[in-house]
Amino acid sequence: MQHFELKGQIRQVGNKAVIKAFRKQGLVPCNLYGGGMDNVLFTVDAKELRALTNTPKAYIVDLVLDGKQKFNAVLHELQFHPVNDNCLHVDFLAVNEQKPVSISVPIVITGHAVGVQKGGKFFQTARSLKISSLMKNLPDDVTVDITSLDLDKKIKAGDIKLDNISVLTPKDSVICGVKTTRNTAAAQAETE
């Protein structure tokens, strides 16, 4: 899995006025926890954070705090302003090489479905898949081959098998499929 380096400054616990002042300076308050460590409060530059949050890709985040402390983490929770869509707060979850990491990775669709060639319509309902694995086994994305997908067939999360990786998305969640269109149904009725 790809790594993303993010630099930040450690901060102290503050009230609403302090947090508001950080946001006016273009900083986003963040929190790092998990892995048996104490919570670490810090701020990051909002522009640098956008490169991490405004992408479909998943990353292991290498946090560098005050230029010397380094932590591995994953994005856990993001809070956005309801009107201007600025990031208000980020929670990071500390990870290490020994424990499995739960993370959502993007789904990449490959191939041309047989059902589409017969006149069906392809649809995709999920753009990412929640998985769990050791950090060394985490993929950048999950590739789903739809070549054998026929009319009125679906691929569910339970159909995806990955080596050394557990799929956490519910097994009956539909990833993609091919629907029969009215024209295809009419053509089949004529031939019968």
Provide φ and ψ at 57, rounded to 5°. Answer: -70, 155
Range of the domain at 126: 102-191
CA 71-75-81 angle, to 5 degrees, is 125
Output the domain CATH number for residue 161. Answer: 2.170.120.20
End-to-end CA distance of the chain: 51
In the listed set 38, 65, 96, which residue is the last one of a domain according to the structure? 96
Q: What is the pLDDT of residue 79?
A: 92
CB-CB contact of 104 with 58 (8 Å) = yes
| Longest CA span, the chain | 74
Q: What is the pLDDT of residue 113?
A: 93
3-class secondary-structure state, position 45: strand
In the listed set 96, 119, 146, which residue is the last one of a domain according to the structure? 96
- Does the pTM surpass 0.75? The reply is yes
User: Consecutive 10-residue runs of the chain (192 residues): their mean pLDDT?
Assistant: 92 86 92 88 93 90 91 92 91 91 93 91 94 91 93 93 93 94 75 70
**Same-domain check for residues 88 and 119:** no
**Same-domain check for residues 29 and 47:** yes
Q: Which of 113, 108, 112, 177 is nearest to 143 (CA)?
A: 108
Q: How is residue 6 written in tokens?
A: 């993010």
